[in-house]
């Protein structure tokens, strides 16, 4: 099935055109939309959607699939989480509310590009090494959670990050791009993976197979072979940040079981080499995300403990 590449115009100021790059495959309106590049410092989804389009070229599709190839081109070109043109986080402004800022216009265009679909998969990546991780949002109805569980079963992630249902969690989600898309009708599944330097072929293969199974679930294509049932861990996430500047040396294995106060890594201080600082797990659980050997500043994310739900 040959893809149709086109651009959705968003803004034109004196010859400077801003657009949303779209790839449409298959007959009829899109039942599945896959979105990449919401944040400019998250390039890994661009690799995954490239693999997805190549895989779909070789299949007969029964219904439409759409890929929003790079939702925030200005931020991606600047290699920044959000564009310095307006300093707005596309994932925290809903549908843009008709605002004139470029990021708000892009957010509105993304929501419009997803309208009419049954399911939207919103792809992100963390700076830390991360298994295939899906998000269970807060405050959902039993019907919403049941549908979400069917999508999770098709995706087959390693980890599901379960949000609490506190008023603050629900408030944060209500202002997100995902919530704005869901208010237009589609069901949104947010997915995280490793940053580009940490992105490996097994994770890409698992993520691609999961997207194809979601497409089959929506009857966009024939069923693909399902793997043997694999273990999935549902967790609440406890993020640990660097206590100072220096080199983070990881010691614990990603995916391993942790007890409270286990040493996960060490910090080589910026000004006092030879006096390493042990960084310990704040709670027991699974090491679900972990930075590789890297220079960190105070407050940078270095690892995450997943507390079993």
Give pLDDT, residue 172. Answer: 84
Q: If residue 56 lies in a helix (H) or strand (E), which one and from where to where?
A: helix 44-57
Q: Are strands 159-162 and 119-125 parallel, antiparallel or unpaired?
A: unpaired
Give pLDDT, residue 140. Answer: 82
* Structure tokens, 177: 């791009």
Give pLDDT, residue 39. Answer: 96
133 in Cβ contact with 288 (< 8 Å): yes
Give pLDDT, residue 224. Answer: 78
Please list the residues that pair with 65 across neighbouring strands: 25, 32
Same topology, domains 4-217 and 234-308? Answer is no
206 in Cβ contact with 132 (< 8 Å): yes
Query: 169 φ, ψ to 5°?
Result: -60, -45
List the chain pLDDT tens, one digit each, 309 residues: 789 999 988 877 666 678 899 999 999 999 999 999 999 999 999 999 999 999 999 999 999 999 999 999 999 999 999 998 899 999 999 999 988 888 999 999 999 999 999 999 999 999 999 999 999 999 888 999 999 999 999 999 999 999 887 888 888 888 999 999 999 999 999 999 999 988 999 999 999 999 999 999 999 998 877 766 677 899 999 999 999 999 999 999 999 999 999 999 999 999 888 999 999 999 999 999 999 999 999 999 999 999 998
Query: Which residue in 106, 110, 102 sits closest to 86, CA to CA?
Result: 102
Tell me the fold of 4-217.
Aminopeptidase (3.40.630)
Tokens 């407050």 belong to 299
Query: 64 φ, ψ to 5°?
Result: -75, 145
Please state, in angstroms and as integers, the Cα–Cα distance from residue 281 to each residue in 164, 222, 251, following that order: 21, 45, 12
Q: Tell me how far apart the alpha carbons of residues 306 and 267 are, in angstroms, rounded to a whole number.
A: 21
Q: Tell me how far apart the alpha carbons of residues 12 and 239 are, in angstroms, rounded to a whole number.
A: 41
The CATH number of the domain covering residues in 234-308: 2.40.50.100
pTM of the model: 0.93
3 state DSSP class of 240: strand
- The domain limits of the chain are 4-217, 234-308
Give pLDDT, residue 8. Answer: 87
Cα torsion for 89, 92, 97, 103, to the nearest 10°?
20
Give pLDDT, residue 60. Answer: 94
Give pLDDT, residue 17. Answer: 78
Tokens 């079981």 belong to 257
3 state DSSP class of 92: helix
Give pLDDT, residue 296. Answer: 97
Give pLDDT, residue 225. Answer: 73
Q: Are strands 301-308 and 30-35 parallel, antiparallel or unpaired?
A: unpaired
Give pLDDT, residue 239. Answer: 96
Give pLDDT, residue 15. Answer: 66
Give pLDDT, residue 229. Answer: 67
Query: Which residue in 69, 68, 70, 72 sits closest to 101, CA to CA?
Result: 72
């Amino acid at each position: 099935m040959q893809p149709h590449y086109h651009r959705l115009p968003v803004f034109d100021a004196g010859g400077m055109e801003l657009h949303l790059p779209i790839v449409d495959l298959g007959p009829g309106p899109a039942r599945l939309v896959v979105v990449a590049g919401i944040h400019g410092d998250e390039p890994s989804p661009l690799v995954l959607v490239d693999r997805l389009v190549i895989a779909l070229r070789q299949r007969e599709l029964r219904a439409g699939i759409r890929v929003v190839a790079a939702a925030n081109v200005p931020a991606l070109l600047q290699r920044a989480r959000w564009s310095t043109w307006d300093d707005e986080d596309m994932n925290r402004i809903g549908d843009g509310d008709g605002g004139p800022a470029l990021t708000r216009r892009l957010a509105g265009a993304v929501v419009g590009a997803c309208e009419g679909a049954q399911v939207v998969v919103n792809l992100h990546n963390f700076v830390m090494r991360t298994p295939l991780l899906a998000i269970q949002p807060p405050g959902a109805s039993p019907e919403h959670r049941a549908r979400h569980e069917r999508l999770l079963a098709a995706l087959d992630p390693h980890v599901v990050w379960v949000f609490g249902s506190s008023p603050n969690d629900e408030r944060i989600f209500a202002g997100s791009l995902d919530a704005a898309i869901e208010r237009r009708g589609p069901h949104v599944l947010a997915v995280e993976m490793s940053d580009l330097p940490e992105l490996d072929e097994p994770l890409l293969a698992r993520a691609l197979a999961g997207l194809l199974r979601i497409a089959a679930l929506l009857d966009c294509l024939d069923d693909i072979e399902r793997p043997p049932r694999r273990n999935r861990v549902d967790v609440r996430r406890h993020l640990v940040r660097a206590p100072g500047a220096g080199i983070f040396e990881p010691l614990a294995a990603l995916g391993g079981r942790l007890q409270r106060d286990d040493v996960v890594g060490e910090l080589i201080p910026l000004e006092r080499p030879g006096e390493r600082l042990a960084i310990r797990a704040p709670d027991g659980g699974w090491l679900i995300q972990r930075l590789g050997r890297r220079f960190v500043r105070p407050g940078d994310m270095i690892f995450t403990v997943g507390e079993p739900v």
